[in-house]
Structure 1
């Protein structure tokens, strides 16, 4: 039985489901559209949040993340009003982090200053690559020069806290090309960089027509060389694909990885919440209606599905997130965020430590454990 006595930190995720063109590798809930119904979506988001307020339970928001799709297709005025409404309904932490994903395409760049004035204090730019051929292969609407220009405009617009999103292991990519992408990104001194390998996901164009990707040994060489380069520039890896300078780890993502709570509003948004104001504490996951048109027509409830997590599922649910962090988490955090004693991880935990996969005294994968992370997690099924 789950014995939650305190609530974890709370964040808010907002999904904007529209984009100009669907990328062939993208499996997110995104839909192409040239006209965005801003007023209708603003009203729907406000109503959606109203329905979820019962899950706040007195907590302030530590972070807000606006993802997509392409959130930067919507106007600064839209976000100014949306954030104002959210602040009128939920308290914010004094140091709240408000991140918005943005496309480097020139259509959105003129709005960067407006987003900053609206209250967004962190920008995540979906660069992916600076190589023209690689960007075309990925179906991106921007070019390499536009990507560099977008970073400059973001900095000039007051975003001193920003993330650059880069991929490696791209179709036909060599180690030299992958490192050149990193070197260009590093020339802008980003405080945070997400650098991850392209994977082919079901229900994508790449899954139906797979491109030729680098071999495993080439991918390993790219990974090692890139990590060494990032470390030399004081971007330290703190999660599988996240690198940051001191003081710039992503608060919102850290809350995910530490099994914190988050409300999810918008078409297709996911949420995870703990409820202790009841006779039996519970942890719920839920998803909102995916299709934008259907979402806009909802009135009584925007929720498409919800699931109460069973106690036996929580060890894996927790570790799938926590083990991504290089420093792991404490055993005490496991107990406070799941409501279960650490003994519920046995005997798999003791055996993993004997095998040199988990550090003693912490829920932290060893370097060997990170190499075999999927197999390690399978032990807690």
Structure 2
């Protein structure tokens, strides 16, 4: 994905400082047993209501007492993050017009605690006042504590960590991940109602980008719950397989399921690149007997849904994950107020099928 020149410079500077950051932050960091003193979130007032889902927040008109800098840290390993970046691209000129700055920082292609954590460390050293980041797992909380101890506001987006809030994160903006997984399970039951029954049990292949990425584990476990609740005669083939960020591995896992799994009726993909599973099923001529369900209305997924190769995808407002998060961080910096009385600010969840995909995929 093309990145603007300014962001490229920022990324280069950020990662050049990553090694220094780990050492430089030690003087002010806290351990897992220590509690950060005077976390920034404790100094902010609390509004009475939670922002409504899907509505874009307005940028504060309060003039900052000094220029503010915000970093949004992303992993770029599938088309979903191109959609997240559209929200950043839209909010960036608004922040600049208000006298602030916001930068898109790529922390590599693998969703790991080290990759994201090093980027957070480096952003703190580089003088950012607020950081929005994915939360690969609970190990990221050490980095959150270090940042908040330095007075930096931290927000989680896309995926949360169970210790993020207690470590000082201001809010989490993203999908209700477990519920989305349950919804995917229910969709699979609907998709396979003519393919499996109590008298003819079916099997679903589960493909996950990473078993260690907490957000995707929530989706995977929720999916299993959804099957048990709505169609217990459809069961997973083992616990699932991991494919990393590779479309080739999605394709090979899908082929393996189709050739080795008896009574296969579906493929569920928890993370990026589900279109590769749909394409593989279509190439084998199995779209009527193997239903594919995944996430996100990327151009690739939309094309597969329109072609009838993917049964459904569940959207998670990628535009808002960046746009809303950046606005809320900016407002918190200049108005000294949290965006919500609740830590979790959910995105709108929308299901896209062949019947409505053109409409829902066009929504910003």
Output the TM-score relative to the length of structure 1: 0.27
The structure carrying a bigger strand percent of its residues is 1
> Using CA pairs below 8 Å that are at least 6 residues apart, which structure has the higher relative contact order?
2
Output the TM-score relative to the length of structure 2: 0.28
